Chains A and B, each alone.
Chain A
Amino acid sequence: EDQVTQSPEALRLQEGESSSLNCSYTVSGLRGLFWYRQDPGKGPEFLFTLYSAGEEKEKERLKATLTKKESFLHITAPKPEDSATYLCAVNFGNEKLTFGTGTRLTIIP
């Protein structure tokens, strides 16, 4: 069964303290890996798409990378407004996305 696993479940950082979130997936025909941000009580907001190992995408303080088995979302010098749940999702070659359970990120001023 296609699975997506995110770690850690929750992460608390001081403002300015850089870190990385992990997303691993079963290797069975990846057709794209996607990162989303979700604020409490809101729908997910699309951040990045990655298709092949070695690919990297950046947006402000966020950088997403992809290997053959996992993806990392690196956050550099985070600010309190970066606090959110970050969801990883994989397209295994059909019409649906398989989501992980997310990493709840809290940035402390």
Chain B
Amino acid sequence: ETGVTQSPTHLIKTRGQQVTLRCSSQSGHNTVSWYQQALGQGPQFIFQYYREEENGRGNFPPRFSGLQFPNYSSELNVNALELDDSALYLCASSLTGSSGELFFGEGSRLTVL
């Protein structure tokens, strides 16, 4: 059973650029959620995807967008990067109905200069 994998692990961008983060879900999991974790804070919900459709969204602007593919892998795209977007971006996979038993990847650390 493979776990959740994310790429890249670290990246540096400049303000105004765009970034794509990728996630491969744990085998058998059909739901993927993305969270943003600023330094010293708890993770904040960005959105969730189920069967390639957005299934809920947190308080993030439209420049945060996502995709889920038929093999349940996922992408998080952020346009027009701002300094405050610097954070650890976490992908979590789960089974529908498992409510909160999320399996997280190790995250992608984004630094915006």
Footprint of B on A, CB under 8 Å?
Answer: 4, 31-32, 34, 36, 41-46, 49, 87, 89, 91, 94-102
B100 A43 Cβ-Cβ under 8 A? no
Smallest CB separation, A17 vs chain B (Å): 25
Q: Which chain B residues (1-48) contact chain A, with CB distance < 8 Å?
A: 4, 33, 35, 40-45, 48
Residues of A contacting B42 in the complex (Cβ-Cβ under 8 angstroms)? 4, 87, 89, 99-102
Residues in A neighbouring B35, C-beta threshold 8 A: 99
B106 at the interface (CB under 8 A from A): yes
Q: How many positions in chain B have a CB within 8 Å of any CB in the partner chain?
A: 25
Q: Cβ of B102: which chain A residues have Cβ within 8 Å of it?
A: 44, 46, 97
B55 interfacial by beta-carbon distance below 8 Å:
yes
**Residue of A whose beta carbon sits closest to that of B4:** A43
